[in-house]
């Protein structure tokens, strides 16, 4: 156990940087861009405060704070765009960034030219009730004690444990978005995540299991984190998998558990429904609107409105309020996930899904809370429908190709024999392709649950939610020994 005398967040707290007083400066920049011949100009201002902590065994081994401010300026002309970011938020610094973005499109600032910019609309301040979120969130001391309690619990419940880890991350972000269509909106965001990992070994036997939880919208969400039950569940899973036999490879029916099981839909299919994939020509679903691409049982949703979910937003990074978007309804493709550039270049209407990691990235069409909707079956009924198959209780890491080919490891799996769960197995990998697997999801249970995750793509790493109920896939390739 270590004692930490000073909290970095206490030392580095800074007040919000952006408010309606920026209006005049931003209007001047937007007017200059319009006068130069740009069709649309967007300015994204950001103020960030990030903290991550790692606990290994019984010590805090890493503390990583970071702070920063900056702006991203994007200019559109026809279907082309130019993007420049800067840390210089002075009037001259922002004007220089605007000039560089315009230059990418062959445009230049000319103060003598009249423009048709009518000014910014009414200031929308979504951060007003969130002004104390940074100071009220977990500080270094409090978060460190939680992590060390968690790694101690792993030691209490576990057997054959070689490595015990806990990690905490807190990201506070203030944004101000202004656009030449009149958009003028501010928000404050807070994302926190906490997790435990354990590695168990006994001679040639090994198992590694982890659990991670994430939340947004409340500084207090992890103050009552139940590290006891998390550690107990983790150690039980690790012990079961330690001596499990390796699964035999082959084509099998599979039941995927709810919650983080939804990562396969997110990775293998969700990305293919982003308009960036249409622009790149890498989605097989580009011309499939109102066509069947999945089984009748599959309805899939992407939204940014679930209270506290990791991918929820008051506004996206283009200043648009989020909405609930039905992507697939009873197997039929209905919508794509779209941002401003996606609407301009593909014709698919914006869905409040323009997102970016920070001001150094231009926004792109990205998922928020993406999940398969619940069905009418129970998880037991799904398992009972299979004579010989595999139950995937917990998923591990994986990889996805540009057009939806995927392979994902099964962190905790069990054979299904005669409609009942049988012995645990390890070493399983699910291998498939989105357009082939989606029509094989024949049953969805009634137990939808969501899990926090991180998603990397063209506009950086962002906070997302994956989810699903228990689902049955009629047949899929299972890699093993």
The stretch 184-211 carries a mean pLDDT of 96
Name the pLDDT band for 12 (thresholds 50, 70, 90). Answer: very low
* Per-residue 3-state assignment (H helix, E strand, C coil) for 199-225: EEEECCEEEEEEEEEEEECCCCCCCCC
Name the pLDDT band for 8 (thresholds 50, 70, 90). Answer: very low
Check: pTM over 0.75? Answer yes or no.
yes
Name which of 277, 280, 276, 370 is nearest 322 in CA terms. 370
Q: Is the pLDDT of residue 10 over 90?
A: no
- Among 108-117, 143-152, 355-364, the range scoring the smallest mean pLDDT is 108-117
What ranges do the domains of the chain cover?
8-242, 246-479
Name the pLDDT band for 217 (thresholds 50, 70, 90). Answer: confident
Q: Which two tokens stand for residue 141?
A: 């001391």
CA distance 124 to 116: 23
**pLDDT, tens digit, for every residue of 46-70?**
999 999 999 999 999 999 999 999 9
CA distance 198 to 204: 17
CA distance 428 to 406: 14
Which CATH code for domain 8-242?
A: 3.30.2290.10
Contact 208, 427 (CB under 8 A): no
CA distance 99 to 353: 27
Whole-number pLDDT of residue 14: 56
**pLDDT, tens digit, for every residue of 251-297?**
999 999 999 999 999 999 999 999 999 999 999 999 999 999 999 99
Whole-number pLDDT of residue 398: 85
Whole-number pLDDT of residue 11: 35
**pLDDT, tens digit, for every residue of 22-36?**
999 999 999 999 999
Name which of 197, 267, 209, 168 is nearest 57 in CA terms. 197
Torsion of CA 235, 236, 239, 244, to 10 degrees: -140
Q: Which two tokens stand for residue 355?
A: 């997102």
Backbone angles phi, psi at 378, to 5 degrees: -95, 155
* Per-residue 3-state assignment (H helix, E strand, C coil) for the chain: CCCCCCCHHHHHCCCCCCCHHHHHHHHHHHHHHHHCCCCEEEEEEEEEEEEEEEEECCEEEEEEEEEEEEEEEEEEECCEEEEEEECCCCHHHHHHHHHHHHHHCCCCCCCCCCCCCCCCCCCEECCHHHCCHHHHCCCHHHHHHHHHHHHHHHHHHCCCEEEEEEEEEEEEEEEEEEECCCCEEEEEEEEEEEEEEEEEEECCEEEEEEEEEEEECCCCCCCCCCHHHHHHHHHHHHHHHHCCEECCCEEEEEEECCHHHHHHHHHHCHHHHEHHHHHHCCCCCCCCCCCECCCCCCCEEEECCCCCCCCCCCCCCCCCCCCEEEEEECCEECCCECCHHHHHHHCCCCCCCEECCCCCCCCEECCCEEEECCCCECHHHHHHCCCEEEEEEEEEEEEECCCCEEEEEEEEEEEEECCEEEEEEECCEEEEEHHHHHHHEEEEECCCEEEEEEEEECCEEEEEEEEECCEEEEEEEEECC
Q: Is the pLDDT of residue 407 over 50?
A: yes
Whole-number pLDDT of residue 155: 95
The dihedral built from the CA positions of residue 461, 19, 215 and 343, taken in this order, carries a sign that is: negative
Name the pLDDT band for 117 (thresholds 50, 70, 90). Answer: confident
CA distance 378 to 307: 26
Contact 94, 71 (CB under 8 A): yes
Whole-number pLDDT of residue 15: 61
Task: Centre a 10 Å sphere on the Cβ of residue 220 and count the other Cβ atoms it contains.
Answer: 11
Residue with the two structure tokens 């978007």: 325
Backbone angles phi, psi at 295, to 5 degrees: -65, 155
Q: Which two tokens stand for residue 377?
A: 């079956």
**pLDDT, tens digit, for every residue of 300-357?**
999 999 999 999 999 999 999 999 999 999 999 999 999 999 999 999 999 999 999 9
Q: Is the pLDDT of residue 6 over 70?
A: no
Q: Is the pLDDT of residue 248 over 60?
A: yes
CA 36 distance to own-chain centroid = 37
Q: Which two tokens stand for residue 186?
A: 């501010």
Phi-psi label, residue 314: left if phi above 0, alpha if psi -120 to 50, beta otherwise = alpha
CA distance 125 to 135: 19
Name the pLDDT band for 111 (thresholds 50, 70, 90). Answer: confident
Name the pLDDT band for 465 (thresholds 50, 70, 90). Answer: very high
CA distance 260 to 332: 24
């Amino acid at each position: 156990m270590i004692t930490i005398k000073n909290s970095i967040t206490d030392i580095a707290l800074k007040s919000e940087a952006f408010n309606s007083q920026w209006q005049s400066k931003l209007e001047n920049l937007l007017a200059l861009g319009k006068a130069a011949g740009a069709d649309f100009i967007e300015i994204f201002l950001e103020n960030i405060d990030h903290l991550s902590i790692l606990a290994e065994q019984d010590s805090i081994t890493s503390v990583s704070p970071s702070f920063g401010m900056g702006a991203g300026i994007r200019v559109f002309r026809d279907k082309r765009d130019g993007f420049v970011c800067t840390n210089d938020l002075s009037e001259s610094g922002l004007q220089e960034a605007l000039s560089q973005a315009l230059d990418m499109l062959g445009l230049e600032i000319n103060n003598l030219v009249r423009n048709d910019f009518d000014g910014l609309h009414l200031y929308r301040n979504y951060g007003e009730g969130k002004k104390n979120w940074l100071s009220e969130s977990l500080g270094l001391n409090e978060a460190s004690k939680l992590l060390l309690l968690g790694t101690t619990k792993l030691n209490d419940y576990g057997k054959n444990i070689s490595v015990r880890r806990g990690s905490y991350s807190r990201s506070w972000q203030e944004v101000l978005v202004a656009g030449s269509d009149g958009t003028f909106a501010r928000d404050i965001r807070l994302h926190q995540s906490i997790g435990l990992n354990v590695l168990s070994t006994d001679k040639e036997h090994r198992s590694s299991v982890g659990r991670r939880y994430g939340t947004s919208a409340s500084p207090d969400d992890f103050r009552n984190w139940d590290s006891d039950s998390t550690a107990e569940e983790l150690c039980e899973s690790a012990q079961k998998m330690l001596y499990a036999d390796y699964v035999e490879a082959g084509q099998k029916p599979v039941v995927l558990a709810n919650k983080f099981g939804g990562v396969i839909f997110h990775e293998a299919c969700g990305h293919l429904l982003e308009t960036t994939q249409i622009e790149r020509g890498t989605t097989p679903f580009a011309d499939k609107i109102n066509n069947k691409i999945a089984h009748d049982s599959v309805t899939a949703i992407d939204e940014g409105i679930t209270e506290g979910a990791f991918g929820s937003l008051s506004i996206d990074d283009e200043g648009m309020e989020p909405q609930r978007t039905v992507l697939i309804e009873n197997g039929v493709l209905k919508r794509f996930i779209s941002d401003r550039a996606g609407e301009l270049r593909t014709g698919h209407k914006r869905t409040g899904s323009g997102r970016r990691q920070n001001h150094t990235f231009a926004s792109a069409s990205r998922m928020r809370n993406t999940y398969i909707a619940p069905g009418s079956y129970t998880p037991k009924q799904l398992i009972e429908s299979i004579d010989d198959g595999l139950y995937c209780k917990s998923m591990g890491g994986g990889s996805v190709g540009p057009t939806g080919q995927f392979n994902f490891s099964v962190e905790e799996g069990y054979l299904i024999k005669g409609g009942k769960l049988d012995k645990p197995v390890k070493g399983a990998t699910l291998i498939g392709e989105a357009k082939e697997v989606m029509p094989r999801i024949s049953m969805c249970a009634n137990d939808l649950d969501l899990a926090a995750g991180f998603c990397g793509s063209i506009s950086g790493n962002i906070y997302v939610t994956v989810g699903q109920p228990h689902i049955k896939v009629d047949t899929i390739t299972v890699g093993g020994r």
